[in-house]
Structure 1
Amino acid sequence: MMQEHLTIVRHPLVQHKLTIMRDKATSTAGFRQLLREISQLLAYEVTRDLELSTRLIDTPVCEMEAPTLKGKKLALISILRAGNGLLDGVLELIPSARVGYIGLYRDEKTLQPVQYYYKVPDELGDRLVIALDPMLATGNSSVAAIDLLKKSGARNIRFLCLLAAPEGVARMREAHPDVPVITAALDERLNDKGYIVPGLGDAGDRMFGTK
């Protein structure tokens, strides 16, 4: 389903895998593997309209002008730590992508992001930049990450997440209306602790087996 600024990927395999991930009985290993698999499916959507050029190649039969990706290698930016779960799967499909990391954690009292690390590829202004974070909850960390990327020159940015809350989508639309959000599901709301409901808990804790 596509709306202005927001795309929800309704593919049956995406929705099936997401249901298993939501189940609290799913093991850490199972959750991690499913996140890798679902990220590959979501990657097809977020890269659907990549620009193409052509180059001359020799097939076993003849020469042909064949399609190939155009421009600089795209940049995948993992918003630590949970973003690494999406990163691994997307990298399997686009192994030539450049990779960056933004370290943010959420202050549990204020729900505001605190930065602790930032390392991104050069020439972001000439690349498609895909920011990766499984959860778009309050949107505060996501907005802060996009702010940093734009300060580094990024102009063509997309945000890929597994789950989104209406509050987070609205916050992103308000702060960065030029950044499309691609997700597997738009859930009901946030609870008083800033967690997505029904959600799947803390994606980082479930992926790494921490509390």
Structure 2
Amino acid sequence: MTEHLTVVTHPLVQHKLSIMRDQETSTSKFRQLLREISMLLAYEVTRDLPLTSVKIQTPVCAMDAPMLEGRKLALISILRAGNGLLDGILELVPAARVGFVGLYRDPETLTPVQYYCKLPADLAERWTIVVDPMLATGNSSVAAVDLIKAQGAQNVIFLCLLAAPEGVKRMHEAHPDVRIVTAALDDHLNDHGYIVPGLGDAGDRMFGTK
């Protein structure tokens, strides 16, 4: 773990991730686990949200109670697999604004190609959490953060299920101010740009496609 990389080692996170890695895990189970693990990761990614004190009346007495202060959250999903992380996080922070960035990886060059971008208008006033299950080469993730920062985002966190060292290095070089939160830092990328040991293509396993 470094200043810009947090690996969440909570036993529940690691247990659920191991089931997701298993190639015998069904599509419906994979989706369920992704939703559950996204909630657990959301606890870590929101750990440093600022608090203020608000006077309230309990059934017993008045008190100064901690409440979220200032800027709210924006969740930006990198389509399509990023959508699998949204539901769990939105259960915890239902008031968050949601945006989408559509990128696909060219199979020959492994470079990202943009086909969609719809973002909240007030990103400069929000903590922005970019979600994508995999940080592999880092090219698509960096391109997404480029777009988001161009729309004014200043406080950006990247949340993923798995990361490869190559992707972490690429993100840190391009955006050293972006903190990465992940459930696992895997070993390396293979010749096809897949994370090893990984879990295959997260989008295909989530939606039952190939």
Range into which the TM-score falls when normalised by the shorter chain: over 0.9
Q: Which runs of 5+ in 2 are unaligned?
A: none
3-state DSSP class of the match of 2:167? helix
3-state DSSP class of the match of 2:145? helix
Q: Amino acid of the residue matched to residue 37 of structure 1? A: E
Matched, 1:107 2:106: yes
Query: 2:26 aligns to what?
Result: 27
Q: Amino acid of the residue matched to residue 73 of structure 2? A: L
Q: Aligned partners of 1:122, 1:53: CA distance in 2, in Å? A: 25
Deviation at 1:126, TM superposition (A): 1.1
Query: 2:44 aligns to what?
Result: 45
Instruction: Name whichever of 27-36 and 120-129 sits farther off.
Output: 120-129
TM-score normalised by structure 2 residue count? 0.99
Q: Amino acid of the residue matched to residue 203 of structure 1? A: A
TM-align CA RMSD:
0.7
Q: Aligned partners of 2:33, 2:146: CA distance in 1, in Å? A: 30
Per-residue deviation, residues 90-116 of structure 1 (Å, max 9, x unmatched): 111111111110011111111011111
Matched, 1:167 2:166: yes
Deviation at 1:72, TM superposition (A): 2.8
Per-residue deviation, residues 69-92 of structure 1 (Å, max 9, x unmatched): 011321000010000001111111
Query: 2:182 aligns to what?
Result: 183
Q: Aligned partners of 2:204, 2:87: CA distance in 1, in Å? A: 17
3-state DSSP class of the match of 2:85? helix
Q: Aligned partners of 1:191, 1:129: CA distance in 2, in Å? A: 30
TM-score normalised by structure 1 residue count? 0.98
Q: Aligned partners of 1:21, 1:80: CA distance in 2, in Å? A: 20
Q: Which runs of 5+ in 1 are unaligned?
A: none
Q: Percent identity?
A: 75
Query: 1:86 aligns to what?
Result: 85
Query: 1:130 aligns to what?
Result: 129
